[in-house]
Structure formats: structure tokens, C-alpha cells
Structure 1
Amino acid sequence: MPSLRSRVLSAALVAVGRRRRFASAEAVRDRVARAARRPASHLPPRRLGRVADISRTFVGAWPVYDVCPRGAEPSAQVLYVHGGGYVDELDRPHWELVRTLVVRARARVVVPAYTLAPRGTADRTVPIATDLLSGLIASGGDGGTVLIGDSAGAGLALAAAQRLRDRDGEQPSRIVLISPWLDVTVSHPDQAALEAADPVLARAGLREAGRLYAGTLAPDDPRVNPLHGGFAGLAPMTVFTGTRDVLTTDSRELLRRAREDGAEVEFHEAAGLPHGYPLLPLPEGRAARARIVELVRSAGAA
């Protein structure tokens, strides 16, 4: 049973029209057009600078933020890939998760503000994310490296881990996927029923955002749909999903395929919780973040 706070928040998300962002293909195209005219900021909030040292470099056209605990040696490092349907920038909940990892896990967190669709398509984005992950692993020395992604960022993170495995045989210490969006076609037969209860996402807009991100690639290309990338040889994975999320079918399919391939998966499916709940100010979100902190600490201690 979800907490009262979770039920209230889900109702509030519906009331404020949060789902309208993905209500239709036209709604997504309009948002993309507005962002092209007036790009949203991806800058970290000022309050993060009170507890962390923040620097920025560029990897090609990507601004990449390096966030380290102030006055302390990091015990682990994280590559965090943000969500937003491949069309939205880093936002406050993403930076709040970064803050949690820096303060509570004493982690160095590397945060790419990757190029959004339609300029940033999977054929360009996945190789850059792979190189970032490889470089972070190489720079880690004895410390562990955890790859974390939420929603669309989880799809990009998983595709990068698969590409790195195939290219170099390398892997991070662990992969953490929060409400992962893995199949951009949004075509699972169970998703129609799930959509009716989802306060955040709708299939029509997701399909359009996925089409923009896929670019010229086929929808079953592993760079676009990492469910087709194979799971053997990947780092241990931890997956969080909620049952009021139209994308929970992707997490369940990941679990099935990963187990078939002999991959290790720690799976958390929270009854009645919406998309991205580990990033939300909910009791269940706090519990999920506590587990993520624990996993990052464990990677650093290994």
C-alpha cells in the first residue's frame, strides 16, 4: 500500500496537468520547438555549491559537471545520466539526487548535460556516454564506479554499459536504473491499462520523443532499445519501478531477459508508486535513495 503522501502527490500531479507534457506527439513537438527558441538551463542550483565543489568541462558539445564533496576525499564515483524523455534538461529533482549522493555517499558525481533530441540522437549520444563511462572507470583507481540513470537517462546508461562491454569488456561496479525507459516504441500490450493509472506519462508523447531520439536508427537497435542489447557480462544491476508507471513493463522485461542471460538483478517494484518515485519527496522515495546511497558506499568500500 503506497503512503498517504504518495497518494496525495499522485493526485496533485494529475491536478496540475503534469501528464500533459507527454499527452500527444504535438505537445512534445511544441516543447521541443520552444526549447530550441529558448533553451532551459541545466546549471546546478546554488545551494549545491554550499556542500560541493563543482567544476565544468566540455566533452565535445556536452557540458559535463564534476561534483565532489567539499573538504573530503570521495569514497566512490558516480556517472549520473538524467531523465526527461530525451527532450528535457536537468531539473531540480535530478540535482537533488546528485546532492544526496555527494553528501550522504561521499561520492564524486559526474553529470553530463547531454545534447537533447532531436539534435542529440542515439547514434551520436550513446558513443559519447560510453567514452565518459570508460574514462571515469579508468580514473577511479581503487575506488568503485557506479552508473546511475533515471527514465530516459537509464536507457542511455544501459546502452552505454552494453556498448562498453562489447567494445572493451569493461564494466562499472554496479548499474542503478530508476524507472528505466528502454523501449522507445512504447508498444507493450500491458501499457494501455497502465497508462490509465499513470499520473505523469502518456504513450503518445513518449512515442514521439522516442522517435526523435532514434533518428535514423531502427527502433530495435540496442542503442535505442537496450532490451535488445543482451545482459550477459554486465555489472550487477539494481532497478526501481512503480506500478503506476506506464514504463514498468520495461523494467519487468529487463528482469526477465537479464535472468535468462544469467545477469544479477536486484529488483524493486513499488505498489502504487508513480514514475521516478525514488527522486520524489516521499517516504518510499527516501527509502529508495537510502538504498542507492548504500550501493554507492559499498562500491567505494569494495
Structure 2
Amino acid sequence: MKPSPTREPARASSGVRVPLAARLVLPRALVPFFLRATHANRTFVTAAGARRRIRQRSLRPAPFGPPATLRDDVRVDVAQRGGWPVYTITRRDGASHGTIVYAHGGGWVGEIVSQHWHLAAQLSAEVGATVVLPIYPLVPFGTAEEARVGLVDLVTSADGPVALAGDSAGGQIVLSAALALRDAGVVVANTVLIAPALDLTWSNPRIPEVQPTDPWLGTPGGRVLAEHWRGSLDLRHPTVSPLFGELAGLGPVTVFTGTRDVLNPDAHLLREQAARAGVALEWHEGEGDVHAYPLLPTRSGREARAAIVRTLRRSFGR
């Protein structure tokens, strides 16, 4: 599969232009209705829905190139690395105080989408960093081990301080990579987890309590996807489910989680385990927010994105 060509945004007459979609603010109360109306949960609410999605995406892979228009103050490049297309977003003025390796979410079966691109562009411009976006192989072809190896390689070959960030499935990938890097003697500046998937056994007893309020994710489909993603590893292996890993020795971790997200109970367990392990963890919980709310065009999403920028700037000594 060939990467989509990078397209340069048109120049504004003055100042920095941020696309209109990145400036819109949707009332948070409308988000669940929108998700249900668009059947965003069809992959997750039934096992059959997950299997259909896997077949659809294996037959017709989704495009993954950047939107035609991002911010005017960043540029996008792409190269092949280990068989993966790997995109980089950098500031046009060349300023870079570190590298952020970002793994996108999508349930291990969904491709990178415009919300990921706009967040990555914001991080590059406002943190003053090089953002690396790997297009990792998805279910049914990719596995947790393959993703972990690829992320570790990107971090160890990056220049300057490096942070990891990822949302949902990408949160699982980057935390698993952070554990492997720690074992190799590499501690990243920060690991930012946005609504991370942490335990692919889906066995937390609080999940059924949260499920009726979650308009997006569900256990039946999640279990089907996890069975594919684990490859030959046990579901409790830290490469698959980082909640089962030993956290001691990790660098700082930052967590964003919404209370209307079935992954929220595991985020609480991660917070407790980090405290016992002596790992610094910055906690952001969106009361009434859905899964991956920092990527959504809501007021709480915008505030969360600003908080991510502040956290990463501090991590890079800015």
C-alpha cells in the first residue's frame, strides 16, 4: 500500500490559519446523540459487528494520508521505515525541542483519521516538537508485538528528548512500548495516554456499570479485536495488556479519561498501580465525557488539548 502524497496547505494572507473544523465547538451533551445516530459503536457492541469491520478493512483498507489542509505553520513529510509509512510533522520555522511519537487509536482495526492529524499538528506547532506518526499494521494483519517493536525502534532512533502519546488502542501501544523501553534502560520524557486500552481481557468488574452510559465502545466487539491483536501472546502479557506490567521505573505518565467510557475503570486501576510503584502520574478525568474526548470538538476536548500541550512543553523543559 502506497502512502498518500503530502499536500501543502494554501497560505493565509497573514498570521497562522487553523482549519475551521479545528475551531468548531460542539456542545458536549450532543456528542452521545451524534455517536449513536452515526452508529459509531457498531464495531464494538456485538462480536458480529467487530468481525464485519475486520473483513471490511482487510478487503478495503482505509486511506491514511493527512488532510488537504492542516495548520499553515507546520509541514508534513513521509518515509518508509521497516515497511511502514511513517509521517513526520514539523514546524516550518525549524524549531524542535524534542520528538513526540504518536500512535493513533481506532480499536486496532481503524485507520488514522483527521482528528489525529489535527491534534498532531497542534502538538508540533504549540509544543515546538517533531511529531512522528507511524502507520502501523492493523487487524487482521498486525499484532501487538509488531507494533511494540516498531514504536521502540522509532523512539530509540529519535533525536533529543522523546515523549510518547497515543489514544485508545494507541494508548495501549505506547504504554507497552514505554515498558519495553524502560526494560532496555530508556526512560521517555512523558507517556501521554488518551482514553487508553489497558486490559484486553475486558474483565474489570466495573465495566458493566459504565457500559450503559458509553455510546461508543463495548465489550463484545472489543474481545474479538483483542483476540486478533494479541497474536501468539497471552492476553495478560504486558505487550498486549500493559495494566499487567510492572510500572516501577517508568518516567512520568499523563492520563486523560472520561467517565462515560468503559475503559475508565482500568484507567483508575492504572492510577492506583502507578502510585504504589512510585511513578509520577498526572490525572485528568472528564466528568460526563465520552471515550477519547480530547480529540473531540467540545469545550472539554479543547481544554484537554491545551493541557496536553502544557504537559509536553514542561516535559521538554520549556
Fold match by TM threshold 0.5: yes
Residue 189 of structure 1 corresponds to 205
Give me the whole-angstrom Cα distance separating, in 2, the residues matched to 1:288 and 1:50: 22
Quick check: 1:119 aligned with 2:135?
no
| Contact 2:254/2:282 (8 A) holds in 1 | yes
TM-score, normalised to structure 1's length? 0.94
Residue 214 of structure 2 corresponds to 198
* Offset, 1:49: 7.0
Q: How does 1:120-269 map to 2 (within 5 A)?
A: 120-136=142-158, 139-140=159-160, 144-167=161-184, 169-269=185-285
* CA shift digits 1:230-256 (9 cap, x unpaired): 111101011000100001011111111
Residue 51 of structure 1 corresponds to 73
SS in 1 for 2:96: coil
Quick check: 1:18 aligned with 2:25?
no
Residue 117 of structure 2 corresponds to 95
Name which of 91, 94, 97 aligns with 1:75. 97
State the Cα RMSD in Å.
1.5
Residue 85 of structure 1 corresponds to 107
* Offset, 1:124: 2.0
Residue 49 of structure 2 corresponds to 27
Residue 9 of structure 2 corresponds to none
Quick check: 1:109 aligned with 2:125?
no
Structure 2: gaps (5+ residues): 1-24
* Offset, 1:263: 0.7
Quick check: 1:290 aligned with 2:312?
no
Give me the whole-angstrom Cα distance separating, in 2, the residues matched to 1:181 and 1:99: 24
Residue 11 of structure 2 corresponds to none
Which residue identity is paired with 1:244? R
Which residue identity is paired with 2:182? R
SS in 1 for 2:316: helix
Give me the whole-angstrom Cα distance separating, in 2, the residues matched to 1:253 and 1:193: 15
| Contact 1:76/1:296 (8 A) holds in 2 | no
Higher helix share: 1
Give me the whole-angstrom Cα distance separating, in 1, the residues matched to 2:118 and 2:259: 23
* Offset, 1:4: 8.4
Larger relative contact order, structure 1 or 2 (CA cutoff 8 Å, min sep 6): 1
SS in 1 for 2:102: strand
Structure 1: gaps (5+ residues): none
